[in-house]
Structure 1
Amino acid sequence: MRIALKCSLLSLALLTFNAWGQIPGLATCTRTANLLACIDAEGNAYSVNTVGSTMYLRGFEKVGRRYWAQTNSRYGQLTFFTGIASDGEAWVGYNRRVGWTTINRFSSSGGSSAKFTCSRITGC
């Protein structure tokens, strides 16, 4: 999985819809009641739409010139996600919140996989 996609997935998982509008140096975003659309300084773009406890993400990764889509389904403190990119790469994973800590795991058809823990205090 490419670095830009990993960063955007991680950022979305950590923000959990605390959409900050415009964050200097990171991204410029537009927000409605349940849609967030952002573009960063490098030209990567993504949008997030929520329907109940399901989150739909779509994006464009400029470096790889590929489009991608991901669906996240939340069940209490556990969120499962699946995604696919225009070049055929697919991925699955989950994140689990335990207090202020998030345990994350993913695997992709491109051969990438990882397990990492993030804290609101110390980061990832």
Structure 2
Amino acid sequence: MNKGLKCLLLSFAMSLASQAQAHMPGPAHCTRSANLLACVDVDGNAYSVNTVGTTLYLRGFEKDGHRYWAQTNSRFGQLTFFTGIASDGEAWVGYTRRVGWTTINRFSSSGGSSARFTCSRMTGC
């Protein structure tokens, strides 16, 4: 899985865990409406987040890999499941589980990447 995509997934996982706005690596220029956040970072990557109830729809473009991607996050209480696919055929699945101030995160991709990591508001990931 592309490093930029991993950072993006981690950033959104942390965002969901802390119930805060997304914090992306590096400065980005964003436009926001009631349900949509659209951003372009200094590297030329673009992404958007659309909220419908407890579901997040993420779309993006990675400049380095010249690929588009889409991800859907569905929240059920303290548990959030996500699935995604990229224009090069890579697919991924995972979940984020919130336990107090800690999140337990796991994902795997068809490209062979997988990880399990724990994040805390106090100590980070």
**TM-score bin (small chain):** over 0.9
Residue in 2 that maps onto 1:15: 15
Would you say 1:96 and 2:116 are equivalent positions? no
What SS does the corresponding residue of 2:6 show, helix, strand or coil?
helix
Check whether the contact 2:15–2:22 (CA below 8 A) recurs between aligned residues. Answer: no
Q: TM-score, normalised by structure 1?
A: 0.92
Q: TM-score, normalised by structure 2?
A: 0.91
Stretches of structure 1 that go unaligned for 5 or more consecutive residues are: none
Check whether the contact 1:69–1:85 (CA below 8 A) recurs between aligned residues. Answer: yes
Provide closer, same or farther for how the CA distance between residues 78 and 3 of structure 1 changes in structure 2, counting only shifts above 3 A: same
Read off the aligned partner of 2:15 and give its amino acid letter. L
Check whether the contact 2:13–2:105 (CA below 8 A) recurs between aligned residues. Answer: no
Check whether the contact 1:19–1:36 (CA below 8 A) recurs between aligned residues. Answer: no
Would you say 1:70 and 2:66 are equivalent positions? no
Stretches of structure 2 that go unaligned for 5 or more consecutive residues are: none
Higher relative contact order (CA 8 A, sep 6+): 2
Aligned residues: 122
Structure 1 vs Structure 2 CA RMSD: 1.7
Residue in 2 that maps onto 1:109: 110
Residue in 2 that maps onto 1:121: 122
**Stretches of 4+ aligned residues off by more than 6 angstroms:** none
Check whether the contact 2:57–2:71 (CA below 8 A) recurs between aligned residues. Answer: yes
Residue in 1 that maps onto 2:35: 34
